[in-house]
Amino acid sequence: MSLFEDYYSLKGKMFQMLKPDGTLYSEMGAPLNDQETLQLYQRMVFIRLADQKALMLQRQGRMGTYAPVWGQEACQVGSAHALQKGDWVFPAFRELAASLMMGIPLKTIYLYWMGDEEGSRAPEGINVAPVSIPVGTHPLHAVGVAWAAKIKGDKTVTIAYFGDGATSKGDFHEAMNFAGVFKTPTLFFCQNNQFAISVPRKIQTASETIAQKAIAYGVDGIQVDGNDLFAVYTATKEAVDKARSGGGATLIEGVTYRFGPHTTADDPTKYRTDEEMEPWKPLDPLVRLRLYLREKGLWNDEVEKRLTEEAQKEIDRVVKEAEAVPAPEVEDIFKYVFAEMTPQLKEQMEYLKETLA
Amino acid sequence: MVKLNMVEAINLALREEMERDDRIVILGEDVGREGGVFRVTDGLQARFGDERVVDTPLAEAGIVGTAMGMALYGLRPIAEIQFDGFLYPCLDQITNHIGRIRNRSRGRFTCPLVIRVPYGGGIHAPEHHSESPEAILAHTPGIKVVIPATPNEAKGLLLSSIRDPDPVIFLEPKRIYRAIREEVQEGDFTIPIGKARLVQEGRGVTIIAWGAVVREVLNAVEELKGNKIDMEIIDLRTISPMDVDAIITSIRKTGRAVVVHEAPKTCGLGAEIIALINEKAFLSLQAPIERVTGFDIPVPLLKSEHYYLPNPQRIVAAVKKVMSF
């Protein structure tokens, strides 16, 4: 029986592997070896610190609006780890972790939120699309790329990341439907972080789960504990393998919690209380993994200190580099609109240069 | 009289009108408990309950499409689309249904609703949060498009928009949401839709603007002090239907004009305004009309946004060019 049959979304079961106390649910053991697990934990430490740094930079006026990933690290690290380099990723706007995992440099991510268009330029060979701020619009692109790969006979898999709010958009449903009809190698990864800005999950949809929306489209759907790195990785790996071998799309609902604000532009105390957050705090994805690693003898305070210091040093170096990037030139806002600048754009650019002279 | 900024003036207008008219329902993303991302609907859910001030699922086409249904059934929905860039998925509903239902049903069904949208750049917002789509909307038959330029104007124009028998898109220039504080008339007062505002009288050149750039025009006037250029400033207020008489009357007097808008230049409303002047006042013109606009590019991210936005310096240059022809 496959994982998706076992956890068929109408059974009301959430797939979990790692308990909040760091022990495993099953005798089957962990899906990743110790070395890999420690490496992923290291990435999660780095990501959390890089995320906090962005929040701090925003508060100091050194960065524009920023959407923190705080609390959702396992969803993104676990799922991205199941992909191969060259697979296509379509992030929403909270995907610092998945983007880093796929090879987008932190400097690029920081530049984007600092308001530099260069922050949307993925390095060659890294197929991570620019951030998609219009909610829920990009899963269609993930389907299109996957469909094209299928037509061309490539083994490429695509993944779209989005939140619970996006599942209310028509585009999301069209994407699911196309993926079902054309059996595209697409993963829909919904990070259900319980809020669309201030609007709680229960107002977003009357469905019992988001995973069960897959059923109507003839697509597999599974709900996983999004704060459980092992469960996220395992479910995503199975969906990736299935997609790569022609088995079609999967909707994965990672149940998680947004510890931070929607973005730096909002104040969560306006719409949620500390009491609401309290039960989620012990479910922190980093805490759980730390407990697991400690039990294995791979983690102690000293390890944490070393990982933190290394990460902090690297992040500080990247911030320095990002802040040293010169301000964009006039040409930069005109030259990428078309393959060749139109006469109108040339004229407008010259006019702007004159006014600045 | 109380001094309010535009956010407070709109909030007051909504509150007062909801007290008067229990058919009004506000719906949108985060408009309830949060009170709107700009706090425009702050406190309204607490006052009127969650059936009249409704947090909806995240679906812009859903919001305006259901608002149309509510309007058909006799309610007076006021939908909020959180940011300009998220209005685009609503265009199907607006263009194919909301703007047509009166005409298609030969007047049997009507759609009096308001869609409020914070719009325009200048607040260092993320991508898709700084759009100026007004020309697309003005180009759409069957809907009216209203854009206030000050807090008092916002209150009077919003009340007219809510009471209008036809659908109105109410674009709120978010750049000046809190930048201007002025006395706002208390109680029930309206400013008619379709009538421009003469901001400043003059005989030398007509400056035509709307929304946030009206303030930039006034800043340009400051910079031009001492140049003895006698400027007339028109705030269009409503871009559809446009107050053509106000424009033509002014051009007949001044013979010169500069149109200022933040939207891209090509097929922006400036083009329509210049065409109207050519049709109706060509022989009064003493100089080619200048446009000061955004460019034909996506609005840049914050580091380059200043390149894009029309500023007093560009307006001053255009005025001088028109005057020296």
Distance CA A273, CA A292 (A): 30
Inter-chain CB proximity B300 and A270 less than 8 Å: no
Give the minimum alpha-carbon distance from B37 to chain A in angstroms, rounded to a whole number: 7
- Residue B25's alpha-carbon distances to B75, B116, B305, in angstroms, are 7, 13, 36
Is B192 among the domain residues? no
Q: Within a 10 A sphere around the Cβ of B223, how many other Cβ atoms?
A: 13
Cβ-based contacts of A202 with chain B (< 8 Å): none
Query: Quick one: CA dihedral A159, A162, A163, A164, positive or negative?
Result: negative
How many angstroms separate the most distant Cα atoms in chain B? 60
User: What's the ipTM?
Assistant: 0.95
A25 is catalytic: no
Inter-chain CB proximity A348 and B62 less than 8 Å: no
Q: Which CATH architecture best describes the domain A3-326?
A: 3-Layer(aba) Sandwich (3.40)
**How much is the pLDDT for A327?**
97
Closest partner residue to B303 (CB to CB) among A114, A133, A337 is: A114
B201 and B159 co-located in one domain:
no
Name the phi and psi angles at A147, rounded to 5: -65, -45
Inter-chain CB proximity B55 and A203 less than 8 Å: yes
The verdict on B298 touching A (C-beta cutoff 8 Å) is yes
B257 and B154 co-located in one domain:
no
Domain limits, chain A: 3-326, 330-357
Give the minimum alpha-carbon distance from A127 to chain B in angstroms, rounded to a whole number: 21
State whether residue A239 is helix, strand or coil: helix
Contacts 24+ apart (CB under 8 A), A105-112: A105/A318, A106/A50, A106/A314, A106/A315, A106/A318, A107/A318, A107/A321, A107/A322, A110/A54, A110/A57, A110/A63, A110/A318, A110/A319, A110/A322, A111/A322, A111/A325, A112/B301
Cβ-based contacts of A171 with chain B (< 8 Å): 89
State whether residue A205 is helix, strand or coil: coil
Quick: pLDDT tens for B83-117.
999 999 999 999 999 999 999 999 999 999 999 99
Give the minimum alpha-carbon distance from A271 to chain B in angstroms, rounded to a whole number: 6
**How much is the pLDDT for A256?**
98
Give me the catalytic one of A262, A288, A290, A292.
Answer: A262
B167 and B209 co-located in one domain:
no
B44 and B152 co-located in one domain:
yes
Is B299 among the domain residues? yes
B220 and B144 co-located in one domain:
no
Inter-chain CB proximity B57 and A64 less than 8 Å: no
For an interface test with A, which of B41, B93, B123, B127 has the most A Cβ atoms less than 10 Å from its Cβ?
Answer: B127
Give the minimum alpha-carbon distance from B59 to chain A in angstroms, rounded to a whole number: 5
Per-residue pLDDT of chain A (357 residues; tens, 9 = 90+): 689 999 998 998 999 999 999 999 987 789 999 999 999 999 999 999 999 999 999 999 999 999 999 999 999 999 999 999 999 999 999 999 999 999 999 999 999 999 999 999 999 999 999 999 999 999 999 999 999 999 999 999 999 999 999 999 999 999 999 999 999 999 999 999 999 999 999 999 999 999 999 999 999 999 999 999 999 999 999 999 999 999 999 999 999 999 999 999 999 998 999 999 999 999 999 999 999 999 999 999 999 999 999 999 999 999 999 999 999 999 999 999 999 999 999 999 999 999 998
Cβ atoms of B128 and B181 closer than 8 Å: no
Is B189 among the domain residues? no
Residue of chain A whose Cα is closest to the Cα of B300 = A333
Give the minimum alpha-carbon distance from A338 to chain B in angstroms, rounded to a whole number: 10
Distance CA B294, CA B263 (A): 5
Closest partner residue to B34 (CB to CB) among A171, A198, A334 is: A198
B38 and B154 co-located in one domain:
yes
Domains held by chain B: number: 2
Give me the catalytic one of A62, A244, A271, A294.
Answer: A271
Give me the catalytic one of A94, A201, A258, A288.
Answer: A258
**How much is the pLDDT for B320?**
97
Residue of chain B whose Cα is closest to the Cα of A342 = B296
Range(s) of the domain holding residue B264: 197-323
Inter-chain CB proximity B297 and A135 less than 8 Å: no
Inter-chain CB proximity A198 and B30 less than 8 Å: yes
Cβ-based contacts of B56 with chain A (< 8 Å): 199, 203
**How much is the pLDDT for A1?**
67
Is B70 among the domain residues? yes
Is B118 among the domain residues? yes
Is B261 among the domain residues? yes
The verdict on B223 touching A (C-beta cutoff 8 Å) is no
The verdict on B204 touching A (C-beta cutoff 8 Å) is no
Distance CA B276, CA B270 (A): 10
The verdict on B50 touching A (C-beta cutoff 8 Å) is no
Cβ-based contacts of B57 with chain A (< 8 Å): 165, 168, 199, 203-205
Cβ-based contacts of B318 with chain A (< 8 Å): none
State whether residue A118 is helix, strand or coil: helix
The verdict on B294 touching A (C-beta cutoff 8 Å) is no
End residue of a domain, out of B184, B212, B227: B184
End residue of a domain, out of B184, B205, B227: B184
Name the phi and psi angles at B239, rounded to 5: -95, -15
Residue of chain A whose Cα is closest to the Cα of B42 = A270
Q: What is the CATH number of the domain that holds B167?
A: 3.40.50.970
Give the minimum alpha-carbon distance from A316 to chain B in angstroms, rounded to a whole number: 21
DSSP codes, B128-190: TSS---HHHHHTSTT-EEE---SHHHHHHHHHHHHH-SS-EEEEEEGGGTTT--EEE--SS--
Is B191 among the domain residues? no
Cβ-based contacts of B321 with chain A (< 8 Å): none
Closest partner residue to A205 (CB to CB) among B55, B57, B128 is: B57
Inter-chain CB proximity B300 and A352 less than 8 Å: no
Per-residue pLDDT of chain B (325 residues; tens, 9 = 90+): 889 999 999 999 999 999 999 999 999 999 999 999 999 999 999 999 999 999 999 999 999 999 999 999 999 999 999 999 999 999 999 999 999 999 999 999 999 999 999 999 999 999 999 999 999 999 999 999 999 999 999 999 999 999 999 999 999 999 999 999 999 999 999 999 999 999 999 999 999 999 999 999 999 999 999 999 999 999 999 999 999 999 999 999 999 999 999 999 999 999 999 999 999 999 999 999 999 999 999 999 999 999 999 999 999 999 999 999 9
Size of interface A-B (CB pairs under 8 A): 122
B14 and B159 co-located in one domain:
yes
B162 and B35 co-located in one domain:
yes
